[in-house]
Chains A and B, each alone.
Chain A
Amino acid sequence: MAAVAALYGEFKALGVEVLSLSTDSRFVHKIWQEQELSKMVEGGVPFPMLSDAGGKIGTVYGVYDAAAGVDIRGRFIIDPDFVVRAMEVLTPEVGRNPAELIRQVKAFQHVAKTGEVTPSGWEPGQVTLKPGPALVGKVWEVWKP
């Protein structure tokens, strides 16, 4: 969570709000912030930390591990029309890569704005593709891995 918080300025600049959820109570969130997160990131976690007590929300998002009683690591990108654009779910031992999350947000925002599509690993400024009959069989002319 601290890694996402550290990039919060970048999320804000992209107009993205972040919400975090775990099955911990709001009281535990507060003390975690005070005791640990605020020492990892200046000012601590700046976004709302939600309590998914009982894992009901996690269940609906497919991340609740009933045997362990916790939500496993999962993140979802939701667009302004309230559509889920991307999801990534990991078993808990491996942390996420917030830089890749930001890359995907930028790509989805570009796609939503322009109607173009972004090839593998696209970063802003790189070539995009304009789907249509003229491009069929010709992708190799404009893009290679």
Chain B
Amino acid sequence: MAEMKDGCVQPVKGPIIAPVPAATASEAQPIKEVVRMQAQVGKEAPDFEATAFVAGEGFKPVKLSDYKGQWVVICFYPGDFTFV
């Protein structure tokens, strides 16, 4: 992955969600996109892309699906500089 062009503000890529099929004209209504939990054991992992700090490399975009074909562990935690 290429080194990202850095700036103060970067768009948050976040989850990569398959687009909802366009509604037909007769049922066309404004659809409010609601993001909700999708991760389930035994189901495909929800893909995402985000900017990362990588030791020795700096800042770069990282996409989960770039690791397809190998085992991956992803760890969420409440915040840097917290206590546990």
Interface residues of A (CB under 8 A from B): 1, 4, 11, 14-24, 26-33, 36, 43-54, 56-63, 68, 70-80, 82-87, 92-96, 101, 105, 108-109
Contacts and interface: CB of A to CB of B under 8 A. Distances in A.
Nearest to B58: A30
Given A59-B37, A92-B82, A75 B76 contact: yes
Contacts of B12: 51, 53-54, 56
A76 B39 CA distance: 9
29 contacts: A4-B73, A14-B71, A16-B70, A18-B72, A18-B75, A19-B72, A20-B74, A22-B76, A22-B78, A26-B59, A29-B80, A30-B53, A32-B80, A32-B81, A33-B53, A33-B55, A48-B53, A51-B12, A57-B15, A59-B15, A59-B36, A60-B17, A60-B46, A61-B38, A63-B76, A77-B73, A78-B67, A84-B43, A84-B45
Contacts of A70: 78-79
Interface residues of B, number: 45
Contacts of A68: 78
B41 A17 contact: no
Given A36-B81, A54-B14, 16 more contacts: A30-B53, A48-B52, A49-B52, A51-B12, A52-B14, A53-B12, A56-B15, A57-B48, A57-B50, A60-B35, A71-B78, A73-B75, A73-B78, A76-B73, A77-B71, A108-B71
A58 to B, nearest CB: 6
B42 A84 contact: yes
